[in-house]
């Protein structure tokens, strides 16, 4: 056991948490999570956590039960006299609702931040937030981890000529990747007539004859991503790849990717997902999260784990 650090998990992220515990050479803590017959979430720690630093691993992607599990587990740890509580959220759900784009809507990302803090979390560790400013929604420390530390070495073995940002929001990420891969940059100019729909207006840059890597923080329905792939292919791009951190993959996203002209899409295991497509490969971030958690527990630098380009994203 690594000092007084204990790793627990909700049901959504148990596989990832087990891998993290293995990297830290400790057993995964015994946290029982179940639902009563009426659907209420119930948690119990089956070991003494008094005075310990408790790290709870749980992504908060829908259904809302995943978020509720995390909140209840934090509250239970606080009432069991844990010294510190780390909420390790590989995928921070509701991050897309980070502002008021129209009247009479909720800034739900801020609401979730308030809920986590009120429940008793002392530190948040999360990966590739959809909007970096969400860190400012918290009044407790937030460690924003970048999956590129694991993904970039993978893609450095491929002959990538150009990195493509599928929308304006991904430009900073794509620019950093292009610099690291010594590649050109392409930006896709699109508009969204309504949710989960995108219309490509322009391609800024020349994709003709290029091996292109599309990078983004998440892929949901896959419509925007597949549209980008097809648009680049229509402009005579050579081979097209994709690298996305969070595989939400709702609806018929996997089928759409399978039927698209993309060579390969690499995602991570921040979200538990059954993926059968031969075009999609999953890379685990367990080692990275384990190292970040251990550094946070040991009061060691986390920013030193990432280069300056990653920290600018």
User: Catalytic one among 190, 235, 300, 312?
Assistant: 190
Domain 5-146+287-311 and domain 149-284, same fold? Reply is: yes
What residues have CB less than 8 Å from 308, skipping those under 6 apart?
Answer: none
Strand order in the sheet with 142-145: 5-9, 53-57, 84-89, 123-127, 142-145
Say which CATH class 149-284 falls into: alpha beta
What residues have CB less than 8 Å from 67, skipping those under 6 apart?
Answer: 60, 93, 94, 112, 115
Helix, strand, coil percentages in the chain from 3-state DSSP, rounded to 5: 30, 25, 45
Q: ω into residue 63 within 30 of 0, thus cis? A: yes
Q: Which residues of the chain have pLDDT under 70?
A: 1-3, 191-199, 201, 308-313
Instruction: Could you please state the CATH topology (level 3) that the domain comprising 5-146+287-311 is classified under.
Output: Rossmann fold (3.40.50)
Give tens-digit pLDDT for 119-155: 999 999 999 999 999 999 999 999 999 999 999 999 9
Q: Strand pairing of 41-45 and 31-35? A: antiparallel
**What pLDDT sits at residue 310?**
60
Q: How many residues does the chain have?
A: 313
Predicted TM-score of the model (pTM): 0.93
User: Which of 197, 199, 232, 191 is CA-nearest to residue 213?
Assistant: 232
**What pLDDT sits at residue 198?**
61
Domain boundary assignment for the chain: 5-146+287-311, 149-284
**What pLDDT sits at residue 1?**
40
**Rounded to an integer, what distance in angstroms lies between the CA atom of residue 20 and that of residue 5?**
12
Whether residue 279 lies in the annotated active site: no
**What pLDDT sits at residue 231?**
92
**What pLDDT sits at residue 306?**
84
């Amino acid at each position: 056991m690594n000092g007084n650090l204990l790793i627990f998990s909700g049901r959504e992220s148990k596989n990832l948490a087990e891998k993290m515990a293995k990297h830290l050479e400790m057993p995964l803590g015994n946290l029982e999570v179940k639902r009563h017959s009426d659907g209420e979430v119930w948690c119990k720690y089956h070991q003494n956590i008094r005075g310990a630093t408790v790290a709870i691993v749980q992504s908060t992607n829908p259904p809302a039960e995943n978020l509720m599990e995390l909140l209840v587990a934090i509250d239970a740890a606080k009432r069991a006299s844990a010294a510190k509580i780390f909420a390790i959220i590989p995928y921070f759900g509701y991050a897309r609702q980070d502002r008021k784009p129209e009247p009479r809507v909720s800034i739900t990302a801020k609401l979730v931040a308030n809920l986590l803090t009120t429940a008793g979390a002392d530190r948040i560790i999360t990966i590739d937030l959809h909007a970096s400013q969400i860190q400012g929604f918290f009044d407790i420390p937030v460690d924003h981890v970048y999956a590129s530390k694991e993904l970039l070495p993978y893609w450095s073995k491929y002959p990538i000529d150009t990195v493509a940002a599928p929308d304006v929001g991904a430009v900073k990420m794509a620019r950093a990747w292009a610099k690291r891969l010594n590649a050109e940059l392409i930006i896709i100019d699109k508009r969204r007539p309504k949710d989960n729909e995108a219309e490509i207006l322009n391609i800024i840059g020349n994709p003709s004859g290029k091996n292109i890597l599309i990078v983004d923080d998440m892929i949901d329905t896959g419509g925007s991503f597949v549209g980008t792939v097809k648009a680049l292919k229509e402009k005579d791009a050579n081979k097209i790849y994709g690298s996305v951190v969070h595989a939400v993959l709702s609806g018929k996203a996997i089928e759409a990717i399978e039927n698209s002209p993309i060579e390969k899409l690499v995602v991570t295991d921040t979200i538990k997902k059954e993926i059968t497509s031969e075009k999609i490969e999953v890379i685990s971030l367990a080692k990275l999260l384990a190292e970040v958690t251990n550094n946070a527990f040991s009061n060691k630098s986390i920013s030193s784990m990432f280069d300056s380009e990653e920290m600018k994203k």
